[in-house]
């Protein structure tokens, strides 16, 4: 027989763990399934300074406290496996997994998270959290008074470059297209081109990340 739950949460990022904490406080029989590591992408962040009530912590340690908080509830279980299918049935859902079989639940919460679009170049994975970042609002202050490179010419890249310019001393935007051509909206393009801190490297791509050697 399938094991039955009141709540089944797919994904163990901050949202999924928070849902498990709330479900546990409501004494609902809850299962949280995570396919890899608990905590999601924030675990790659070396320093977290913008979470309410936490002046300074690592993303990994902060998520360990989330996980422990969720596990403290007697009605909450955490399992590591991959969900392969969620099927609605008359009285809820059947959730199938790769290695743990099937479960039934009255409610399913999906905390699927996000995955950054990677360039798959040398040094990218090695320096994540140590100079390579995928979130300007998360990490901008770490680049204060530094020269940085932004790859891309779409809305997100250009608007986040505008935000980063408040912190960095210089921003180089690497653009695949010929000179003057950006993929972002016209307002963002006009603003970024008029920003004195910003320069463009046209008709180019990034080939490798290296740590700068101190002279």
Average pLDDT, integer, range 146-174: 93
Which one from 135, 145, 178, 183 is the annotated catalytic residue? 135
Whether 138 is a known active-site residue: answer: yes
pLDDT band at 214 (very low <50, low <70, confident <90, very high): low
**pTM for the model:** 0.70
According to the model, what pLDDT value does residue 83 have? Answer: 97
Using alpha carbons, list the distances in angstroms from residue 195 to 56, 81, 166. Answer: 32, 48, 10
Which strand (E) or helix (H) includes residue 9?
Answer: strand 3-10
Question: Which one, of 74, 94, 72, 76, lies nearest residue 85 by Cα?
Answer: 94
Among 9-23, 81-95, 148-162, name the one with the lowest average pLDDT.
148-162
Q: Is the pLDDT of residue 212 over 80?
A: no
Q: How far apart are CA 133 and CA 58, in angstroms?
A: 15
Name, in order, each residue with C-beta under 8 angstroms of 186's C-beta and a sequence gap of 6 or more. Answer: none
The catalytic residue among 139, 155, 183, 184 is: 139
Q: CB of 62 within 8 A of CB of 136? A: no
- Catalytic annotation on 111? no
User: Which of the following is catalytic: 102, 138, 155, 183?
Assistant: 138
Tell me: pLDDT of 215 over 60. no
Average pLDDT over residues 118-131: 86
Q: Is 184 a catalytic residue?
A: no
């Amino acid at each position: 027989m399938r094991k039955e739950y009141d709540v089944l949460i797919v994904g163990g990022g901050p949202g999924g763990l928070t849902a498990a904490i709330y479900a546990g406080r409501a004494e609902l029989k809850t299962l949280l399934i995570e396919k890899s590591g608990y905590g999601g992408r924030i675990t790659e962040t070396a320093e977290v300074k913008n979470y309410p009530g936490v002046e300074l912590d690592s993303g990994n340690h902060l998520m360990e406290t989330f996980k422990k908080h969720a596990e403290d509830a007697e009605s909450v279980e955490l399992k590591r496996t991959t969900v392969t299918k969620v099927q609605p049935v008359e009285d809820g859902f059947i959730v199938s997994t790769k290695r743990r079989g099937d479960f039934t639940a009255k409610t399913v919460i999906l905390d699927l998270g996000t995955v950054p679009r990677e360039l798959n170049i040398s040094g990218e994975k090695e320096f994540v959290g140590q100079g390579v970042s995928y979130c300007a609002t998360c990490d901008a202050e770490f680049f204060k008074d530094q020269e940085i490179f932004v790859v891309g010419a779409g809305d997100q890249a250009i608007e986040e470059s505008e935000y980063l310019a408040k912190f960095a001393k210089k921003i180089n935007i690497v653009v695949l297209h010929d000179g003057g051509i950006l993929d972002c909206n016209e307002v963002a393009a006009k603003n970024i081109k008029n920003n004195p801190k910003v320069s463009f490297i046209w008709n180019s791509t990034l080939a490798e990340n290296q740590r700068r050697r101190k002279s």
